[in-house]
């Protein structure tokens, strides 16, 4: 029996194979060491190299993080606007809170891996809700950007594709010569615009020679709503290190998310209360994540038909028997399958729950259908709305089999966190049910929706999904890239 307040048994692998550091205060963030109680036995172990790099990173964070001497010294350079030769050895990447929660989780994990690869300290713009959703991941020193940081939140929000401080615009306006090895002198900070509307100059971020230029800039400030990790695997100078960190390529998000993002106690309460009340006792748990990218909230019959076609064709849920009123052949306690649905609308859930109430299943299994919330529309600035969104992504990740919607970062977080290869519902065109309705994903990794298609060496366009076997186009978006 699992309980919210039970101290975690030390014999259980509460450190997730060495991914987590021991010694954090358990009460301030129950999820950190209790997640193991809710997850199936992990089938993917982090590499020893990843573990040692994480420990090094924690040490770097402690030395260079907010309020430490080195931080203050680097900050002075930012305030004065002048470049002086670095003596502190501390460099930073600031992640700006931007877009829906699923997008933010993917971009935060991307920024963290970039920080690991480039030995930068990751500092996080708290936005409206980051401290409300996630515990501090590093020991002793906060990862939150202090409120007195000289570049204001308003300025962060105003950064966009046209900002003169952006690296892409500096290249475009020829302030930086791509042929010189270093800026002379490097600016104290640069803004990296890596959001979906970025242009070909911004995308040069993914070239080795540009990484060399960025290397000497003490403060990089990044705004992105993308999971850009697949393209980091195509940068030659990162390749070897990434191979060492992730011998199993399709587990990057899985490990990094379980390392970095621990729900705060209020969110953990939402997760564990729901799990214990509705999911814990079922023999099997199926997650169904429905995301319809339309302004009309629905529900739509063609989407319901698609869900049912997928779950029956792929044998995820039993068919119903419309001719009989009761089926329980052996008289024994029937198998129970809990279906956890998430959607902004309650229509799909109601239809499926009623279907399994009004009719028996052909196999006699009992189907319980649950949906934690139906928020009707996206409310990115509402605290409890975002807590519920995170709780639902997490709950989906605790299921045994998962059905997700194409293009949805909400679903990507759930699948990857849970180590699940989902069945992806194809994106419907012209309001009709796609045939086939869904397909099994080849890996659990999220899809990078806006990758560059550029060969930095020859300076021509290429298909970046055809360069190496472990970076290919996504199942749900033909131009996207994902790790396999």
Question: Is residue 410 near ligand GDP by the rule CB under 6 A?
Answer: yes
484: burial class by Cβ within 10 Å (0-12, 13-18, 19+)? middle
Q: In whole angstroms, what is the distance from residue 444 CA to residue 300 CA? A: 28
Stretch near ligand GDP under the rule CB under 6 A, chosen from 12-20, 149-157, 408-416, 434-442: 408-416
Contacts with ligand GDP by CB under 6 A: the residue count is 19
CB of 225 to ligand GDP, least distance (A): 8
Question: Is residue 408 near ligand GDP by the rule CB under 6 A?
Answer: yes
Give the x-and-dash track for 175-214 against ligand GDP (CB under 6 A): ----------------------------------------
Stretch near ligand GDP under the rule CB under 6 A, chosen from 99-107, 137-145, 164-172, 351-359: 99-107
Stretch near ligand GDP under the rule CB under 6 A, chosen from 31-39, 77-85, 212-220, 388-396: 388-396
Give the x-and-dash track for 37-56 against ligand GDP (CB under 6 A): --------------------
Question: Is residue 443 near ligand GDP by the rule CB under 6 A?
Answer: no
Task: Show the DSSP H helices in 325-447 as ranges.
Answer: 347-358, 383-397, 409-418
Question: Is residue 450 near ligand GDP by the rule CB under 6 A?
Answer: no
Choice from 68, 101, 195, 447 touching ligand GDP (CB under 6 A)? 101
Closest among 235, 204, 205, 229 to 459, alpha carbons compared: 204
Query: Cα 254–390–438 angle (5° rounding)?
Result: 65
Task: Show the DSSP H helices in 97-207 as ranges.
Answer: 101-118, 130-133, 153-158, 167-172
- Kindly tell me which of 16 and 414 has the beta carbon lying closer to ligand GDP: 414
- Kindly tell me which of 136 and 476 has the beta carbon lying closer to ligand GDP: 476
Closest among 144, 167, 164 to 155, alpha carbons compared: 164
Stretch near ligand GDP under the rule CB under 6 A, chosen from 26-34, 69-77, 337-345, 423-431: 337-345
Stretch near ligand GDP under the rule CB under 6 A, chosen from 19-27, 325-333, 372-380, 435-443: 372-380
Stretch near ligand GDP under the rule CB under 6 A, chosen from 24-32, 51-59, 78-86, 97-105: 97-105
Buried b (16+ CB within 10 A) or exposed e, 215-249: ebbbbbbbbbbbbbbbbbbbbeebeeebeebbeeb
CB of 256 to ligand GDP, least distance (A): 18
Cα 318 to its chain centre, rounded Å, is: 31
Q: In whole angstroms, what is the distance from residue 310 CA to residue 287 CA? A: 13
Stretch near ligand GDP under the rule CB under 6 A, chosen from 60-68, 100-108, 294-302, 473-481: 100-108
CB of 224 to ligand GDP, least distance (A): 12
Question: Is residue 343 near ligand GDP by the rule CB under 6 A?
Answer: yes
CB of 284 closer than 8 Å to CB of 400? yes
Give the x-and-dash track for 281-320 against ligand GDP (CB under 6 A): ----------x-----------------------------
Question: Is residue 102 near ligand GDP by the rule CB under 6 A?
Answer: yes
- Kindly tell me which of 59 and 277 has the beta carbon lying closer to ligand GDP: 277
Question: Is residue 267 near ligand GDP by the rule CB under 6 A?
Answer: no
Question: Is residue 373 near ligand GDP by the rule CB under 6 A?
Answer: yes
Q: In whole angstroms, what is the distance from residue 324 CA to residue 406 CA? A: 36
Choice from 211, 399, 409, 472 touching ligand GDP (CB under 6 A)? 409
End-to-end CA, the chain: 36
CB of 341 to ligand GDP, least distance (A): 8
Choice from 125, 202, 375, 445 touching ligand GDP (CB under 6 A)? 375
Q: The tokens 């909230």 sit on which residue?
A: 297
Output the residue with the shortest Cβ distance to ligand GDP.
100
- Kindly tell me which of 225 and 365 has the beta carbon lying closer to ligand GDP: 225
Choice from 344, 369, 417, 444 touching ligand GDP (CB under 6 A)? 344
Q: In whole angstroms, what is the distance from residue 357 CA to residue 346 CA? A: 16
Question: Is residue 216 near ligand GDP by the rule CB under 6 A?
Answer: no
Ramachandran region, residue 72 (left: φ > 0; alpha: ψ -120 to 50; beta: rest): alpha
Q: Which two tokens stand for residue 180?
A: 């010189």
- Kindly tell me which of 60 and 447 has the beta carbon lying closer to ligand GDP: 447
Q: Which two tokens stand for residue 193?
A: 């615009």
Strand partners, 438: 425
Q: How is the chain split among helix, strand and coil, in percent rounded to 5? A: 35, 15, 50
Question: Is residue 342 near ligand GDP by the rule CB under 6 A?
Answer: yes
The SS3 of residue 221 is strand
Contacts by 231-234, CB closer than 8 A, 24 or more apart: 231/206, 231/448, 231/451, 231/452, 231/464, 231/471, 231/481, 232/110, 232/113, 232/114, 232/117, 232/206, 233/468, 233/470, 233/471, 233/483, 234/206, 234/464, 234/467, 234/468, 234/471
Q: Point out which residues bind ligand GDP (CB under 6 A).
A: 99-103, 291, 342-344, 373, 375, 378, 385, 388-389, 392, 408-410
């Amino acid at each position: 029996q699992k309980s919210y307040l039970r101290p975690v048994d030390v014999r259980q692998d509460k450190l997730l194979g060495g991914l987590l550091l021991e010694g954090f205060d358990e009460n301030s963030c129950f999820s950190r060491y209790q997640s193991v109680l809710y997850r199936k036995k992990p089938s993917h172990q982090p590499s020893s190299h990843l573990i040692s790099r994480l420990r090094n990173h924690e040490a770097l964070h402690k030395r260079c993080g907010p309020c430490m001497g080195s931080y203050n010294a680097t900050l002075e350079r930012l305030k004065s606007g002048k470049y002086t030769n670095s003596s502190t050895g501390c460099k930073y990447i600031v992640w700006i809170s931007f877009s829906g929660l699923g997008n933010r989780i993917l971009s935060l994990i991307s920024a963290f891996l970039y920080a690991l690869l480039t030995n930068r300290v990751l500092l996080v713009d708290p936005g409206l809700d980051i401290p409300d959703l996630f515990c501090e991941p590093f020991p002793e020193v906060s990862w939150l950007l202090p409120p007195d940081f000289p570049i204001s939140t308003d300025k962060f929000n105003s950064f966009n594709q046209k900002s003169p401080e952006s690296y892409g615009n500096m290249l475009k306006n020829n302030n930086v010569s791509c042929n010189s090895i270093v800026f002379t002198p490097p600016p104290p900070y640069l803004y990296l615009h890596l959001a979906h509307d970025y242009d070909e100059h911004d995308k040069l971020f993914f070239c080795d020679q540009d990484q060399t230029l960025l290397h000497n800039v003490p403060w990089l400030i990044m705004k992105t709503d993308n999971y850009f990790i697949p393209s980091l695997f195509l940068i030659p100078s990162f390749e070897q290190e990434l191979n060492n960190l992730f011998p199993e390529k399709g587990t990057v998000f899985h490990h990094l998310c379980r390392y970095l993002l621990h729900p705060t106690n209020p969110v953990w309460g939402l997760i564990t209360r729901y799990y214990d009340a509705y999911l814990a006792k079922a023999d099997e748990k199926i997650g169904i994540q429905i995301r319809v990218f339309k302004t009309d909230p629905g529900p739509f019959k063609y989407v319901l038909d698609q869900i049912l076609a997928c779950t029956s064709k792929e044998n995820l849920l039993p068919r119903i028997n419309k001719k009989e009123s009761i089926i329980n052949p052996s008289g024994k306690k029937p198998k129970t399958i809990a279906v956890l649905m998430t959607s902004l609308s309650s229509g799909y859930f109601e239809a499926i729950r009623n279907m399994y109430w009004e009719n028996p299943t052909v196999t006699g299994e009992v189907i319980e259908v649950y949906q934690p919330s139906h928020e009707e529309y996206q409310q990115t600035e509402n605290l409890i709305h975002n807590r519920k969104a995170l709780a639902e992504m997490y709950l989906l990740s605790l299921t045994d089999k998962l059905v997700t919607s194409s293009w949805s970062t909400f679903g990507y977080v759930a699948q990857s966190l849970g180590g699940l290869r989902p069945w992806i519902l194809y994106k419907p065109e012209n309001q009709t049910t796609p045939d086939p309705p869904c397909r099994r994903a080849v890996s659990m990794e999220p899809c990078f929706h806006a990758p560059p298609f550029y060969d930095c060496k020859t300076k021509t366009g290429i298909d970046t999904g055809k360069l190496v076997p472990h970076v290919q186009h996504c199942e749900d978006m033909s131009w996207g890239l994902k790790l396999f």
